[in-house]
Chains A and B, each alone.
Chain A
Amino acid sequence: MNLPSLLLEEAVNELSKFPGIGKKSALRMVLHLLKNNPEDSDKLGQAIIKMRNNIRFCQTCGNVSDHEECNICTNQLRNRQTLCVVEDLRDVMAIENTGQFGGLYHVLGGVVSPIDGIGPDKLNIESLFARLTSGEITEVVMALPATVEGDTTMFFLSKRLSDYPVRISTISRGIAVGGSLEYADEITLGRAMSGRVPYEV
């Protein structure tokens, strides 16, 4: 793309590094900034810089946080016996939004994937076992993606977790709520059938 100004080009190049943003979308964003007051651009720049410089990752669980420990870990009203292991920050937000889980989290920061050079040592795993030694936690829920990498990570974790006196569980896989069976893909429906549960009213 040929742009009439080097300043414009630099801004477009930086913005187009975002996931899902191409050169054209980046240009639209830059032109939007130009149309508005210069203060708006200042505010945006400041917000980004402040966020990047001051944000921290919770020392206990690895979630994003404004302090040394995140709001979830410090909240004494939460169930401190149940721990949910997730791949990344977005999963914490997703599960929090369900309102169905009142326990604590542990963010691995990824899943095991040797072809991308990610081994267990690159993940936030040792601190997970450190948390278990106190004995307060009685159940670990593994909420990892349903991919071969997610499955392997779960297997790896479950082996190590068997050394600790905790219950190990995983989230169920199956039919989407409000979904009609005829639209579920066969594999999901098959898994839902083989993993059926006793009916309770």
Chain B
Amino acid sequence: MYLKQLTLRNYRNHVEFKANFAEGVNVITGKNGTGKTNMLDAIYYLSVCRSYFIAIDQPLVRQGEDFFFLEGVYFNMVETKVDCTMRAGGRKVFKLNNNVYPTLAEHIGSIPVVIVTPLDIALIYEGSEERRRFLDIALSQTDREYLLALSSYKRCLEHRNSLLRNPNGPEWEDIVPWDVQLVQHGKYIHQKRNELIKKLSKTCTEIYQQISGGGDEIGLEYISQLNQQDFENLLEKGKYVDSSSGRSNFGIHKDDLNFHLGGQNIRRFGSQGQQKTYIFSLKLALFKYLKTETKKAPILLLDDLFEKLDSSRLSNLVSMVSRGEFGQVFITDTDRKRTEASLKGCLVDVQFFEL
């Protein structure tokens, strides 16, 4: 599946933009602030129903306008059209071939996408919430049951916490029914996350070796309170802590990921280039996972590809991309000559766009 045509209206800094893309590599060049990243974000939005950069929809509408419109025409044996209209103060409406989707969950996952941007460094530097979000977005694209389990889990947790905040001390009798559901959904989420990490970990290491040319040993580890202990036991033992702190301290909402480099945490011991290589490998491992699970090659969005990598790593990466391993690829860069030089000898179609 590839994106054949994209139309943007009033999306972030774009007034009106329309382009036809190649099935292979598409390079978007332009100066700072011309809207390269926003274009990638629009492609991402059409797949995942939200922006990668801004969690709420209102600020995505171009200043002074009252709506934005996105349309993508995809080709996979037949043409399908997906469009999204978002009116200021209203709700976004997604359509497939002009028919409105009853729920957005029905669309998410039908056009898999993977984005790599300089901001992904937040996965390493920010709190565990970022890393859980990475897992959730990955699994939501392949498993609708996961999306439901996750929202049910969050809802149960809210109810449970509100019972724990009871000023007269929590009534455990009322909490037990919530725990039953919390355990049911929590165990499912834990199992799915665990399976995902196992698959990603292996591919991630392989890709890292290919890009770096060997040398560094890396690892990806799933940290969860549920790894060693049964969730029911955890909740039972945690009663005292939970009631004195007035919130739930145990469960998959405390999960985290550990990124290793040579047995050490990459945040403290990795160079910026190594960190960036790690993120690339993780994202490309996600790409391969999505490709296997959905049986469609995701659209790969590479924002500012050429920052911070040394030339040998860069050429290893570019040769992976240009061998056609990754289906349709979008690359942004400020310097057209640099990209042209890097992609020389590329085996798939390359098309250049100047913004």
Contacts and interface: CB of A to CB of B under 8 A. Distances in A.
Interface of A: 112-115, 119-120, 148-149, 151-153, 155-156, 159, 185-187, 190
B354 interface: no
Enumerate the 5 nearest inter-chain pairs by beta-carbon distance, A residue then B residue, closest first. A114-B162, A155-B177, A114-B159, A156-B177, A152-B177
Contact of B159 (A113, A185, A186, A190): A113
B159 A115 contact: yes
Given A155-B181, A186-B144, A187-B144, A148 B162 contact: no
A120 B174 contact: yes
A187 B177 contact: no
Contact of B181 (A114, A151, A187, A190): A151
**Is chain B's interface secondary structure helix, strand, loop, or mixed overall?**
helix
B265 to A, nearest CB: 36
A155 B180 contact: yes
Interface of B: 103, 106, 144-145, 148, 152, 155-156, 158-160, 162-163, 171, 174, 177-178, 180-181
B174 A159 contact: no
A195 to B, nearest CB: 14
A190 B181 CA distance: 18
A112 to B, nearest CB: 7
Contacts of A151: 181
Given A148-B181, A152-B181, A155-B181, A115 B162 contact: yes
Nearest to A155: B177
Contacts of A114: 159-160, 162-163, 174, 178
Contact of A112 (B106, B145, B177): B177
Contacts of B144: 185-187
30 contacts: A112-B174, A114-B159, A114-B160, A114-B162, A114-B163, A114-B174, A114-B178, A115-B158, A115-B159, A115-B162, A120-B174, A148-B152, A148-B159, A148-B181, A149-B159, A151-B181, A152-B156, A152-B159, A152-B181, A153-B177, A155-B177, A155-B181, A156-B177, A159-B177, A185-B103, A185-B106, A186-B144, A186-B145, A187-B148, A190-B145
Nearest to A185: B106
Contacts of B155: 148-149
Contacts of A187: 144-145, 148
Contacts of A113: 159
Nearest to A152: B177
| Highest count of chain B CB atoms <10 Å: which of A112, A114, A190 | A114
Contact of A148 (B103, B145, B156): B156
A201 B192 CA distance: 39
B106 A152 contact: no
Nearest to B166: A114
Nearest to A115: B162
A153 B106 CA distance: 28
Nearest to B106: A185
Contacts of A186: 144-145
Contacts of A152: 156, 159, 177-178, 180-181
Nearest to B175: A114
Nearest to A118: B159
Contacts of B159: 113-115, 148-149, 152
